Structure 1
């Protein structure tokens, strides 16, 4: 087998080993996937969620039951089949994974309900001007309108969140009872990630209220061990997004993002006040409902996505969505990430009596060092070649053939092993060489001859030296 064939075969085996989909046996031995709910809000949330879903389903394509433990729910005010992100148009099941929260006239609905809706009267800003057309293409950076859309579809969204959490936990319990997966600890019961932009209208307008709905649903379905996290795309990315970004648009996006982050920070520092500012505060107070979850922190952790990673600027929003999806994907499926320290516990620790309220998702760590990986892969392949083809144990047939070849060589050159014969041959060769070397008397006689010239003498000396050197070599 030629070396190129060996290399090709080794590379194919190594590639197959690295791209092979996991099996039930591997997942039982080292479980990575856990119950999880991904909630995408607005365009940013939908973009990250759909890319993460594709990666997850590709990884567990032979284990569809496992992918069912990760539930997806997208809340957006764009019609799905007309979404600006092409991948979102076909990436989710309509009315089950993708909920369209538009489809109504916000101005007409507000005018018809403001007098008898106490919740709406409490938080709706009177200075906001609502459009008199159906919402079909986003909220146009009007955060109050995003919250209004959530308020309009509140019952549908609450039911969808509860269903997603219940489905993830139910499937996990069934797989454990069937013996197909090992049980999880209480600290890893379920995780809910809510993904949103920061300076638009849909996601930033409803993030805090959606997190409240999630906490209420988790208190019923998973009273212990549940973790919530928010992933937010920072305003610095959106300020320069688009072909024709005017200074006015940049200021508007910056102001919107600043207001959103200040609001989020305030309720992180004063979570007990959120119970009086949530979307349905008046009705829950009138119903004397349990408001414990309304006074909790918005989420256990908040991760932010900026427009610069490892010193380079991310060129487009879709590249940013892909990096965020990679981060979620690696946190879920890699055994290393499953066994390392919990990031939520790390963030909740205090530094100088101040809590870590925000953290990066660490997407820079999923930009793998290409040269290092290439060297490691080359070393692994070289090791496999040596172990498989060069250092393998010889067979009985090969050992017998080697012994026969050695015997044949020994029989054909046995005379070389006779010391007396070798000595006589060397003595005769030495005597012959000595006779061919001119003596000093011979050289002097040659030089004294009348026809002798200096060049001839030089040639004679050179020939004598060459002959002597050859004799020494022999």
Structure 2
């Protein structure tokens, strides 16, 4: 018994339309995989969340079950009209900006996608919990089937797939990630290894309308901003969904994803191709041969590669992101076997129709004579009768009158004795005639068996077949008709005349006997009476024998008619079968090798990437003729019992053309699959190279590497850091490492290249992944941000809102702007007022420190406090603060702290706080009178200006808010 393999429990979650389609592709790969026995194991679950209840209306094949598809519908208008009943939604939802329903999708409104999670939180948590419980069942550790799951010491795999550009998936991806983490936290179990696959705006290459493009680019930018905040852990994801479910603190401070793969359309013309690349990577990430050695290597990537940049203008930005690519070349076994099956079937049927012919039909005549002899229809040289006639009934069985019985009989008793003999003979011969019926039936069966033997021989012989059978039956039927006609002539021309002549003479002898018998004994001649009686008996016997001979021949004619009827039907069926064979041969010819000479075997647009055929139409004839050399051998096997058993089943096939066609193709496929099964891609390319004169192996390997590059577009001039590349090349156990050698050479600069031995000789697959790039390095990220900035005033783009988090998204550009002097001074001064920047005495000198815990007094000697030394003077501290990347996070924290100072008073409280601080700043400025400290005096003056400007902006916002409140109260 084979030991079950080990499989890491895996939950695959698809969000929105993109996620749903990828899930379908992954599930199809399981169903097509022999390794998984065309099913998916119990420790793997699929879960799709969408807001569109009509998602399957455009689908032709339902792959996902209803259990795997969850539609999260929500009536936004109804919720907004009763918002007081939904405090957890009211805490973040932008109710003044969004009022649409999600009954048929989120309509590219990300907040509606997120709202669907909140409105259906019980369903979401329940379904995810049930799926997690299933894949982590302890029973599956030992009783999983062909695979057992790994133990609880190994983290579960969770894959989340979505677009970042629509409304559903892009609105809920963060919530789903943290909800899953929270479920694991509550079990408790090890936190899962979360891998996200997100399609970027430039993945949707089919979109051409400017408005559509602008919206998905703006949505994509908003999604990426939210993603980056939590991937860098600048904010905890402390979200409350209901009274019973919220994200705990321990979970909220974790990154949502261990690996975050960003996907663009790099040299791709259709976004569905990217979906297939993702499905390829997810499938291999679950449990194929590709994943045997990956986890130890992947485990080191977050530690080594997802780190902050330590230099340059982007110092402090994390390199949290990855991308993937995949490519495969195939020997398109199924396509080639299908084409070859038609060619092979056509060749087989041509062989069946073919036989050695001669103008005189001497071969068929010889076999006919053999049949006639076997059927005992050859006339005897002496008697002229066939043995078959004698088998029906011999003349010896016929009852005749006997002359010996009248020798000692008195003349007066002669009539009675003769009459008695006649009566006895008639009774006996009547029984004999009746027995002829059963004899005909028996001999008919015998002859049919003989015919069947000859038919079987014809259909089972490589040089006879259905054409020869027709010719043979022609000769047999002709001979049978001749025998039949001769019998009829004999009856009419010979035996009937003999009977009449003898009957006449018998009657004459009888009359003379009667006349002589009537004389008196004196005049009666006894000897003459005896002679006349003997003459009557002899003539009567001759007459009845002639009648019997005629009857025997009539029964033989009846027998021959039986055989003729069967033979004619047999010939009709044989000709019909021949027509079927010819029709099928013609049909197979329409889809043979010649009709595919210009094929490239790319049925789908993505085949050039994921199923690049190493075979083209010009290779087909060579592959076929190299392996199919002796059709006669195949014909013999094909028509025999191990094949289609034509001798025994041709009649069935003549009545079922479709079944016959399927049987031929099934037989052909099996033969060709056996012939081609062991042919590896390397072997084929090596053979092809001999013909083309090119290094086909090298060309194929180079194409794999170039086509399988990670699908993102990185600005290498902007980000000069190196990513860690992890590549897997799956090649058959039968390959000779020629492709592997070329691929290794092409990727020699990569850190990790794993050669994985697979069991499929007809596919070579490479998956490439790159890890450790920052978000700002994406080529088009600034363009997407431009669209975001254009639309943010008129379209609500965020799902994680400022209302909930206090985040000012303008302070988080993708490519961090250099802080200008005025902004830097404002945030420094405000940070000082809010105690993010504090002064500590060290060695008798003042030192300025930045701290992320303003509620604590800075202590440079406390190792727990994470302090950033800004300088020993205020001027030096401001300069370093402005130039430091730390200000990126500081701005957000400072703004939040200022809002906190407002408390329940809102803007009024913030303005009061700034008023007091301004008084302090002005006092400091006034106290500086030493001309040598004029730079410090100018700094305080600029701080006063910046804080005054901030106060003025808050006063303006307060007046606008008060005006709106007045309108609302009216």
**TM value normalised by structure 2:** 0.32
Q: Which residue of 2 aligns with 1:119?
A: 88
Structure 1 counterpart SS, 2:32:
helix
Give the Cα separation in 1 of the matches to 2:136 and 2:201: 35
Structure 1 spans left out of the alignment, 5+ residues: 1-23, 385-474
Give the Cα separation in 2 of the matches to 1:369 and 1:213: 40
Q: Which residue of 2 aligns with 1:447?
A: none
Q: Which residue of 2 aligns with 1:230?
A: 196
Structure 2 residue aligned with 1:241, among 206, 222, 238?
206
Cα distance change, pair 125–182 in 1 and its aligned pair in 2 (3 A): closer
Q: Which residue of 2 aligns with 1:457?
A: none
Cα distance change, pair 271–68 in 1 and its aligned pair in 2 (3 A): farther
Q: Does 1:49 align with 2:11?
A: no
Structure 2 counterpart SS, 1:322:
helix
Cα distance change, pair 288–207 in 1 and its aligned pair in 2 (3 A): closer
Q: Which residue of 2 aligns with 1:91?
A: 63
Q: Which residue of 2 aligns with 1:101?
A: 72
Q: Does 1:262 align with 2:228?
A: no
Give the Cα separation in 1 of the matches to 2:80 and 2:216: 25
Give the Cα separation in 2 of the matches to 1:302 and 1:83: 31
Q: Aligned ranges for residues 169-208 of structure 1 at < 5 Å?
A: 169-170=136-137, 173-176=139-142, 181=147, 184=150, 188-208=154-174
Q: Which residue of 1 aligns with 2:281?
A: 327
Residue deviations 1:276-332, cap 9 Å, x none? xx352x857xx9984311221111111112111xxx22x223222112111111223
Q: Which residue of 1 aligns with 2:254?
A: 296
Cα distance change, pair 299–252 in 1 and its aligned pair in 2 (3 A): same
Cα distance change, pair 49–181 in 1 and its aligned pair in 2 (3 A): closer
Q: Is the 8 A contact 2:41 2:147 kept in 1?
A: no
Give the Cα separation in 1 of the matches to 2:149 and 2:59: 38
Cα distance change, pair 205–330 in 1 and its aligned pair in 2 (3 A): same
Q: Aligned ranges for residues 412-423 of structure 1 at < 5 Å?
A: none
Structure 1 residue aligned with 2:682, among 366, 375, 387?
375
Q: Aligned ranges for residues 2-151 of structure 1 at < 5 Å?
A: 25=2, 28=4, 31=5, 33-59=7-33, 63=37, 67-80=41-54, 82-87=56-61, 90-94=62-66, 96-102=67-73, 104-112=74-82, 114-131=83-100, 135-151=102-118
Q: Is the 8 A contact 2:43 2:140 kept in 1?
A: no
Give the Cα separation in 2 of the matches to 1:289 and 1:323: 33
Q: Does 1:250 align with 2:213?
A: yes
Structure 2 counterpart SS, 1:188:
coil
Give the Cα separation in 2 of the matches to 1:82 and 1:63: 27
Structure 2 counterpart SS, 1:321:
helix
Q: Aligned ranges for residues 398-413 of structure 1 at < 5 Å?
A: none
Q: Which residue of 1 aligns with 2:303?
A: 349
Q: Which residue of 2 aligns with 1:155?
A: 122
Give the Cα separation in 1 of the matches to 2:170 and 2:85: 26
Cα distance change, pair 64–107 in 1 and its aligned pair in 2 (3 A): same
Give the Cα separation in 1 of the matches to 2:212 and 2:144: 56
Cα distance change, pair 293–198 in 1 and its aligned pair in 2 (3 A): same
Cα distance change, pair 63–331 in 1 and its aligned pair in 2 (3 A): same
Give the Cα separation in 1 of the matches to 2:212 and 2:145: 56
Q: Is the 8 A contact 1:34 1:188 kept in 2?
A: yes
Cα distance change, pair 342–42 in 1 and its aligned pair in 2 (3 A): farther
Cα distance change, pair 62–123 in 1 and its aligned pair in 2 (3 A): closer
RMSD over aligned Cα atoms:
3.4
State the shift of 1:126 in Å: 3.7
Structure 2 counterpart SS, 1:115:
helix
Q: Does 1:361 align with 2:330?
A: no
State the shift of 1:65 in Å: 7.8
Q: Which residue of 2 aligns with 1:19?
A: none
State the shift of 1:252 in Å: 1.4
Structure 2 counterpart SS, 1:274:
coil
Q: Which residue of 2 aligns with 1:164?
A: 131
Give the Cα separation in 2 of the matches to 1:179 and 1:247: 52
Structure 2 spans left out of the alignment, 5+ residues: 310-317, 329-608, 616-679, 688-732, 735-970
